Amino acid sequence: MKQRNLAAGIFAIAIIVSSLVLGNAFINRNQKSGTIDVTGLGEQDFTSDLIVWEGNFSRENMEIQQAYAELERDRKAVTDYLIKKGIPQEVIIFKAVNTNPLYQQNYNSSGNYMGQTFLGYQLNQSLQIESKEVEKVEGISREITELLLQGVKFYSQAPRYYYTQLDDLKIEMISKATEDARIRAEKIAENANSKLGKLISANMGIFQITGQNSNEDYSWGGTFNTSSKEKTASITMRLSYTVR
């Protein structure tokens, strides 16, 4: 009899606890909870304010002393040309001369190797100019082939373009991306009849610099274009908010 009364008591308690749990679940069902995750984008077009341009010239001769003398004349011709075009001598940086012996590989009619013939020496020297006078240096990089008329074998490389205010630009992009993400989150919360709560986390994406009107793709490690003078910077911010 006592066991029957004890079992009945336990059963009654179980019913009461279950009722409380179900009731609480019913009440909480209508309470809004969770988070909103959004990604914002910040973009800015800008013009490069620093140019780096390189070129090289060379001479070949059987006698190394004669090759050096000819290369030195070419170096003076290049320097005079650049100064005449308005480039200060102190920004014209000549690099060390590279010396390479030249050989011709000889084979007989059967294709067997017969040794090599010494053809002389090739001397090569390169120069670099770094300047904020972007348009001026850009023009010279295209016109310097005029030195060919003076017998100088000069080869011009494509200029590289940079931006000296990149740190300030990054801060501006982060601000734009964060604001864009916040507006998106507010709109999502509004459409869900909720209110945006506190910011839980903020994660910055990779800073990307691409040429304007180009087909460059973003990369996981970040793209840093140096071939275009006109560029576009972009960055993403992923924010997570509570909702109430």
Distance CA(146)–CA(156), nearest Å, equals 11
Residue 244: which pLDDT band, with cuts at 50, 70 and 90? confident
Give residue 85's region: left, alpha or beta (phi > 0; psi -120 to 50): alpha
What burial class does residue 233 get, using C-beta atoms within 10 Å of its C-beta: 0-12 exposed, 13-18 middle, 19+ buried? Answer: buried
Domains of the chain: 32-47+165-243 (3.30.110.170), 51-161 (3.30.70.2970)
Q: Where are the beta strands (DSSP E) in 3-159?
A: 35-47, 50-61, 92-94, 98-107, 113-131, 154-156
What pLDDT does residue 3 have? 43
Residue closest to 209 by CA, chosen among 157, 173, 180: 173
CB atoms within 10 A of CB 163: 16
Q: What is the pLDDT of residues 174-227, one digit of tens each?
A: 999 999 999 999 999 999 899 999 999 999 999 999 999 888 777 777 889 999
